[in-house]
């Protein structure tokens, strides 16, 4: 297996165990769905299929270093295309496909902005979407059936294959967003292999582990932890569509039960989704005792979410020591920190007032003015972490500042963006605010999202967590942000929440409850509460609430006559 000790044996991602000739009948991927029997892809089949897709790209004239966008459904075709591109030295990048939640015109505008800026050579997409995309795309588009027809090695001379070098860019991870996804994180083969080795040590990865994942492959958590890691390491990957999982959340537990899964990664909202949506009859015969870790990552970690998850599923085998946390980002390939296996993450109960006004995390035993934060764990091997003040000076423990990291698995740079320098004196500034305590990292919010209200630093996710618990609010569909008020001389707090009801009395009750709960639990006052219909809120391509975009949308609607202050 790839570990820090065996790292020297691996040169590029083409050294992945799933591409090797030994143990050809061992499973590389088992694709599960709610509608059909699992599809098992052996290592031999994976090796043949990826080479065939690579041959298809060669017949299309793709050369080493060419950028290929895979804007496809999450299925075996997109997986073979991704690895086929790697095999010929091209640069693949997984991209969200068009769904009913996305505006087609906005999607294509953003896609063409990416094509122009990044010199995209080819877009690979589904048969269903290819005709639409081909009409407006500014580069060639190829569909599933067209590429499959070309995916044969016959006629491809041996010298046409150009295996990559360790320093070559392996693939791009595009930071999630709402405005074009133009900031492609370029990762070299050596950086990705370093991450895989370091992270394998952090989670004590074993040959008998089984990774189960529904995560989208255009997100670093899904791409690295739930896709590339198992294929490189040669441990089974049980994969499913994120769309299928959202509709049938018990599919994850069923896969864990059927294939004795040991590791899975989940954003915080998934713990709530599983807890709310799974019915007892869905898991009547399911056991989760095989699991080593459910790893909470990608969103601010909420202790209440983890505890509800534990209480709800303890009777089918979930134990507290299975709960784990990782802090990660695409610019570091994936993981920055990881809580140690075998113990739950540490909790830090601190004074809320000191956190807001003094930017210090002071431990407190009081039951009143406190907030409990969940540790993200220590840095993984070969990764350093600092907390910096506004002047870039390192802060002592328990002082809030911007998280900065340095490692051997950092990005090469932002693809074709020489105007963006991601480093300052060799350190990457994450934009996340947090602190260190006893060598472990605690994240409190995003620097750009911070609300400064009456001299207090308010973290919007804290308000959003409260609002999401208010009866009548669509869980996970609330946003908080600040708007400057000249008369008050400070930022006022705005909450926008989606609700189903149109009954005026019910809406007034919900609005009153939002104000009361936020005031009771945070001692700050919400100035504006706006209730909106489902699907009003803007989300990023990875499903996160886009605070800045929603702020602009809210301000724009307030300029119209029908906008009212609640």
Q: What is the 3-state secondary structure (H, E, C) of 75-111?
A: CHHHHHHHHHHHHCCCEEEECCCCCCCCCHHHHHHHH
- Claim to verify: residue 158 and residue 264 sit in the same structural domain: yes
**Residue 247: burial class (beta carbons within 10 Å; 0-12, 13-18, 19+):** exposed
With bands split at pLDDT 50, 70 and 90, how would you rate the model's confidence at 563?
very low
pTM of the model: 0.86
Q: According to the model, what pLDDT value does residue 559 have?
A: 74
User: Looking at the domain assignment, is residue 95 inside a domain?
Assistant: yes
- Claim to verify: residue 134 and residue 95 sit in the same structural domain: yes
- Claim to verify: residue 256 and residue 355 sit in the same structural domain: no
- Claim to verify: residue 409 and residue 290 sit in the same structural domain: no
Alpha-carbon distances, residue 478 vs 120, 274, 287 (angstroms)? 36, 19, 33
| Total domains in the fold of the chain | 3
pLDDT, the chain, mean: 91
Q: What's the pLDDT tens digit per position in 311-354?
A: 999 999 999 999 999 999 999 999 999 999 999 999 999 998 89
User: Looking at the domain assignment, is residue 231 inside a domain?
Assistant: yes
- Claim to verify: residue 293 and residue 352 sit in the same structural domain: no
User: Looking at the domain assignment, is residue 123 inside a domain?
Assistant: yes
- Claim to verify: residue 353 and residue 480 sit in the same structural domain: no
Q: According to the model, what pLDDT value does residue 143 have?
A: 96
**pLDDT over 90 percentage in the chain:** 71
Give the dihedral of Cα atoms 15, 21, 25, 31; nearest 10 deg. 30
Best CA proximity match to 472, nearest among 518, 532, 521: 532
Last residue of a domain, one of 255, 290, 325: 325
Q: According to the model, what pLDDT value does residue 542 have?
A: 61
- Claim to verify: residue 144 and residue 254 sit in the same structural domain: yes
Whether the CB-CB separation of 402 and 388 falls below 8 Å is answered with yes
- Claim to verify: residue 437 and residue 460 sit in the same structural domain: no
User: Looking at the domain assignment, is residue 289 inside a domain?
Assistant: yes
For range 265-273, the mean pLDDT: 90
CATH code of 298's domain:
3.40.50.12780
Please count the other Cβ atoms lying within 10 Å of the Cβ belonging to residue 99.
11
Last residue of a domain, one of 401, 421, 448: 448
Best CA proximity match to 91, nearest among 229, 26, 185: 185
- Claim to verify: residue 319 and residue 197 sit in the same structural domain: yes
User: Looking at the domain assignment, is residue 68 inside a domain?
Assistant: yes
- Claim to verify: residue 159 and residue 260 sit in the same structural domain: yes
User: Looking at the domain assignment, is residue 545 inside a domain?
Assistant: yes
- Which domain does 381 fall in, by range? 346-448
- Claim to verify: residue 434 and residue 493 sit in the same structural domain: no
CATH code of 422's domain:
2.30.38.10
Q: According to the model, what pLDDT value does residue 399 have?
A: 97
Q: What's the pLDDT tens digit per position in 498-537?
A: 998 999 999 999 999 999 999 888 768 899 999 999 989 9
- Claim to verify: residue 159 and residue 272 sit in the same structural domain: yes
Please count the other Cβ atoms lying within 10 Å of the Cβ belonging to residue 549.
17
Whether the CB-CB separation of 499 and 481 falls below 8 Å is answered with no
User: Looking at the domain assignment, is residue 338 inside a domain?
Assistant: no
Last residue of a domain, one of 426, 448, 470: 448
User: Looking at the domain assignment, is residue 530 inside a domain?
Assistant: yes
């Amino acid at each position: 297996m790839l570990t820090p000790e065996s790292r020297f044996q691996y040169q590029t991602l083409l050294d992945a165990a799933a591409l090797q000739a030994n143990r050809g009948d061992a499973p590389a991927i088992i694709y599960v769905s709610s509608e059909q029997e699992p599809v098992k892809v052996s290592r031999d089949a994976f090796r043949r299929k990826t080479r065939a897709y690579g041959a298809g790209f060669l017949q299309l004239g793709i050369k080493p270093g060419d950028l290929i966008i895979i804007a496809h459904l999450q299925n075996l075709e997109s997986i073979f295309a991704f690895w086929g591109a790697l095999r010929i030295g091209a640069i693949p990048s997984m991209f969200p496909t068009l769904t009913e939640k996305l505006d087609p015109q906005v999607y294509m505008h953003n896609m063409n902005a990416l094509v122009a800026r990044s010199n995209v050579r080819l877009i690979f997409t589904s048969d269903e979407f290819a005709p639409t995309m081909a009409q407006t795309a500014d580069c060639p588009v190829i569909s599933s059936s067209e590429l499959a027809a070309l995916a044969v090695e016959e006629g491809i001379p041996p010298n046409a294959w150009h295996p990559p070098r360790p320093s070559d860019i392996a693939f791009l991870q595009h930071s999630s967003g709402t405005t074009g996804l133009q900031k492609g994180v370029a990762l070299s083969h050596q950086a990705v292999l370093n991450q895989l080795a370091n992270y394998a040590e952090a989670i004590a990865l074993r040959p008998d582990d089984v990774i189960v994942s529904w995560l989208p492959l255009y997100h670093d958590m899904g791409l690295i932890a739930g896709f590339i890691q198992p294929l490189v390491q040669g441990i089974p990957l049980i994969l499913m569509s994120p769309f299928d999982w959202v509709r049938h959340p018990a599919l994850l537990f069923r896969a864990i039960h059927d294939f004795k899964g040991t590791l899975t990664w989940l954003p915080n909202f998934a713990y709530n989704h599983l807890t709310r949506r799974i019915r007892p009859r869905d898991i009547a015969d399911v056991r989760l005792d095989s699991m080593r870790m459910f790893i909470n990552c990608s969103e601010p970690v909420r202790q209440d979410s983890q505890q509800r998850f534990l209480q709800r599923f303890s009777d089918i085998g979930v134990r507290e020591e299975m709960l784990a946390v990782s802090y990660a980002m695409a610019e570091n390939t994936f993981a920055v920190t990881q809580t140690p296996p075998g113990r739950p993450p540490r909790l830090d109960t601190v004074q809320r007032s000191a956190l807001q006004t003094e930017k210090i995390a002071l431990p407190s035993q009081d039951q009143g003015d406190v907030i409990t934060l969940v540790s993200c764990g220590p840095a993984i091997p070969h990764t350093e972490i600092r907390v910096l003040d506004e002047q870039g000076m390192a802060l002592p423990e328990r002082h809030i500042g911007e998280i900065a990291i340095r490692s051997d698995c950092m990005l090469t740079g932002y693809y074709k963006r020489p105007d963006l320098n991601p480093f300052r004196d060799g350190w990457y500034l994450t934009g996340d605010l947090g602190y260190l305590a006893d060598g472990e990292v605690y994240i409190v919010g995003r620097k750009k999202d911070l609300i400064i209200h009456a001299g207090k630093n308010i973290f919007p996710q804290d308000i959003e967590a409260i609002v999401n618990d208010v009866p009548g609010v669509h869980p996970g569909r609330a946003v908080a942000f600040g708007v400057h008020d000249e008369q008050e001389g400070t930022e006022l707090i705005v909450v926008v929440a989606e609700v189903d009801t149109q009954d005026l009395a019910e809406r007034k009750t919900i609005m009153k409850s939002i104000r009361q709960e936020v005031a009771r639990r945070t001692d700050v006052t919400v100035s504006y509460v706006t209730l909106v219909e489902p699907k009003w809120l803007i989300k990023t391509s990875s499903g996160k609430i886009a605070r800045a975009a929603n702020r602009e949308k809210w301000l724009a609607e307030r300029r119209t006559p029908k906008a009212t202050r609640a």
